[in-house]
Each structure stands twice: as C-alpha cells, then as structure tokens.
C-alpha cells in the first residue's frame, strides 16, 4: 500500500469530491466531530509514474467512503478530533489484511473542510444494521445509505464470525488492541466474482473504526466519571474497573459480538441502563447466549470469552482455529454449557427510545 502521508501531499486531486463538492454521492454516517460520505476515487489525468512513492494503482472510478471532520473551529474538541483522525490514519496505514478495512489515503486541510480519510467502500454497510434489517427491523429515520437488498440468514452467521476472528488474530499478531470490537465496527461487502453456495458465502467482513468510532456512535457509549466515552456493554470487568485493555479484553468483546450476531443485531443488555450494565458485569451477571446459537458458539461465549480472569480466555488464534470450517449446518451436538450464572436477556430489536 502506498504511504498515505506522501499520497496526501502530491495526489490531492485524486479524489473526485475535491473538485467542487458536486461529486459527494451520499452521506452515510454522522457523528459528533464529522461525517462519512460515499464518493468516487479517480486517478488524476497527469498520473505519476509507478516508481513515485505517491503513486496509487486504482480503477479509473472506484467507490470509496470518505470520513470528513466538520469545519474546524477553535476549541479543545476540534483539536481532539483532528488528533484522533490522524492517529487512526497512522494506525490503519500499517495494516494489510483481507478482514481489515483498507485506507487509501488522507487529505489534510483541503477545501476548508478539515481533514478527511478515504477508505474502501463496503456496499452493505455495518454489520449491526445489516443484522437488524435482516431481522425485520430498520430505522426509518436513518438515511438509506445502502441500496442493496441482501439479507442475512443463519447459514451466513458462522462464516461472518470466522472472518472477524481472522481479522482479530491478525491485529493481535501485530500487538494491536482494538478496544471497541462490536458489530457496528465491522463492515460488510460482497465478493463480486463469487456466487454464494451451500458451502461458501460471498460476504466479506472487514474490521474498521480504529479511532473515531466512539464519536460516530455516542448513543452506545457511556462516560464513566471524568473518562472518555466507553462501550461498557462490550467491556470486561478489568477494563471497567482499572482501564486495562489487552488481547484478552478484545476476546471478551468478541464474545459479546458473537451474541450480537446470533441474536440478529439485538443490543447487549437491552432494557438496562449503562449504570445497571456496569453493576451486572462486575457482579458476574452476563448475557445468556441466544437459543438459536449452535453449541460451539455458546461454548465460545461462556467458557472461553467471558472468563473473569483474563488469562483464562482463549487467544484469537485459538478462537479462529475453532471457527475455521465450522458450519451451522453441522450435525447438532449436545451442549455441555452450564449457564445458570447468566441472566437471560431476550434479544429484542433495537427500538428507538
């Protein structure tokens, strides 16, 4: 991948949305500090030679997602947002994996719009909303950001979990802790050359949001004391109590993500306020796996991800190995999961409050 910092300085005209604003296709997300648009990525007329460090090989017109900071204004908030955006760019520039979202480049202080990042576009949107839409629920007030009518079925779910585990295995091998692993931060696309079959889904899942996600989804975050907003419904006890994040805390979050997937997009601890959720987690009252979850998935959640002692949890390498080749169509097994400590929370739709 080209160095996005060098690309920024010499290839700003690369982005069609740079010209006059008329090529911004569609707003697909908005947060406290910025917005995300769908646009087109085009090679400039005076292309650089391939030997140039700023050269990027792309199609003549490629769909992209553009994360844009709002017009800069004085104050700590704008400075913080700029730092977060640049940190996210630095982080993502070092990643190269099929299940990690690709960063194409960054533009700094262009068109008086503030800085913006340009990512590959995932046409089916984020996994949380796709699951909810497949479950018969969609937010009528939200923008229709994705025109695809693709819906998820039970057979899609195990391969989705396996791909996310694969991406997290890669991140952990790079000693990177995500801290915010959840379905809302996983994007979904389709492999255009691959037709779905009984044994192979054409869906591709990419982990995203390595810095700005808490600003884009502030309603699912909770400010504890004087700290930053935190996704407590996805956090283990040691992260809530001591702010300790590690691969093991990401593994806990992966267990909650599995619960989201197999409950078809329900909000963890639905019906409980964030303060109640914190009390429940610290009191060892966890989620009950959905009844529709296969035994292996239930076992992963309870016996391997939600262990109170971090060292008792599996690594992502071990989790990925368990999920590889797994299919919900496999012969049923007798579940040996003991769940008497876990309060069952009905996986209800994400109703607006």
Q: Which is higher by pLDDT, 350 or 74?
A: 74
Q: Where does residue 192 rank: exposed (0-12), middle (13-18), buried (19+ CB within 10 A)?
A: exposed
Query: Which two structure tokens, joined as six digits, stand for 51?
Result: 């030997």
Out of 126, 180, 209, 350, the active site residue is 180
Return the DSSP state at 56: -
Spacing of C-alpha 206 from chain mean position: 7
Q: Which is higher by pLDDT, 310 or 43?
A: 310
Spacing of C-alpha 48 from chain mean position: 33
Q: Are 207 and 100 in contact (CB under 8 A)?
A: yes
Catalytic status, residue 199: no
Alpha-carbon span 133 to 139, nearest angstrom: 9
For residue 187, what pLDDT is reported?
95
All structural domains of the chain: 4-120 (3.30.200.20), 127-323 (1.10.510.10)
Alpha-carbon span 342 to 289, nearest angstrom: 9
**Nearest 5 degrees, angle CA 194-CA 200-CA 201?**
65
Return the percentage of the chain with pLDDT > 90, whole number. Answer: 44
In 3D, which of 268, 290, 285, 283 has the Cα closest to residue 337?
Answer: 290
pTM: 0.78
5: β partners? none
Q: What pLDDT, in 10s, does the model give residues 10-68?
A: 333 334 344 333 355 578 877 656 788 888 877 555 456 666 655 555 555 688 998 88
Radius of gyration of the chain (CA): 21
Q: What pLDDT, in 10s, does the model give residues 229-250?
A: 789 999 999 999 998 999 999 9
Q: What pLDDT, in 10s, does the model give residues 168-226?
A: 999 999 999 999 999 999 999 998 765 555 445 789 999 998 653 333 344 555 555 55
Alpha-carbon span 297 to 254, nearest angstrom: 11
| φ/ψ of residue 120, rounded to 5 | -65, 150
In 3D, which of 331, 273, 320, 253 has the Cα closest to residue 97?
Answer: 320
335 vs 86, 296, 321, CA distance in Å? 46, 8, 19
Q: Where does residue 108 rank: exposed (0-12), middle (13-18), buried (19+ CB within 10 A)?
A: middle
Query: Which two structure tokens, joined as six digits, stand for 169?
Result: 């295995």
């Amino acid at each position: 991948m080209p160095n996005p910092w060098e690309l920024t300085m010499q290839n700003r005209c690369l982005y069609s949305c740079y010209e006059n604003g008329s090529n911004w296709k569609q707003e697909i997300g908005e947060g406290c500090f910025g917005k995300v648009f769908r646009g087109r990525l085009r090679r400039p007329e005076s292309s650089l030679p391939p030997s140039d460090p700023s050269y990027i090989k792309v199609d003549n017109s490629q769909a992209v997602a553009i994360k844009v900071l709002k017009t800069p204004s004085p104050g700590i908030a704008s400075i913080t947002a700029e730092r977060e955006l640049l940190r996210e760019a630095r982080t993502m520039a070092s990643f190269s994996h099929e299940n990690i979202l690709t960063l194409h480049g960054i533009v700094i202080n262009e068109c008086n719009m503030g800085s913006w990042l340009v990512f590959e576009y995932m046409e089916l949107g984020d996994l949380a909303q796709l699951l909810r839409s497949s479950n018969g629920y969609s937010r009528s007030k939200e923008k229709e950001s994705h025109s695809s009518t693709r819906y998820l079925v039970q057979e899609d779910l195990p391969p989705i979990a396996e791909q996310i585990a694969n991406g997290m295995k890669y991140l952990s091998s790079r000693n990177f802790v995500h801290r915010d692993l959840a379905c809302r931060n996983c994007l979904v696309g389709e492999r255009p050359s691959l037709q779905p079959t009984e044994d192979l889904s054409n869906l591709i899942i990419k982990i995203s949001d390595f810095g700005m996600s808490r600003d884009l989804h502030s309603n699912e975050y909770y400010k504890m004391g004087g700290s930053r907003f935190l996704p407590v419904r996805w956090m283990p006890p040691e992260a809530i109590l001591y702010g300790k994040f590690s691969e093991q805390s990401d593994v806990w979050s992966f267990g909650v993500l599995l619960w989201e997937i197999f409950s078809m997009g329900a909000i963890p601890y639905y019906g409980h306020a964030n303060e109640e959720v914190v009390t429940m987690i610290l009191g060892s009252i966890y989620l009950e796996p959905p009844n529709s979850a296969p035994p292996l998935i239930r076992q992963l959640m309870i016996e391997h991800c939600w262990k109170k002692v971090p060292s008792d949890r599996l690594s992502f390498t071990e989790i990925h190995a368990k999920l590889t080749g797994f299919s919900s169509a496999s012969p049923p097994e007798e579940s040996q999961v003991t769940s008497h400590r876990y309060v069952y929370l009905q996986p209800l739709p994400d109703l607006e409050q």
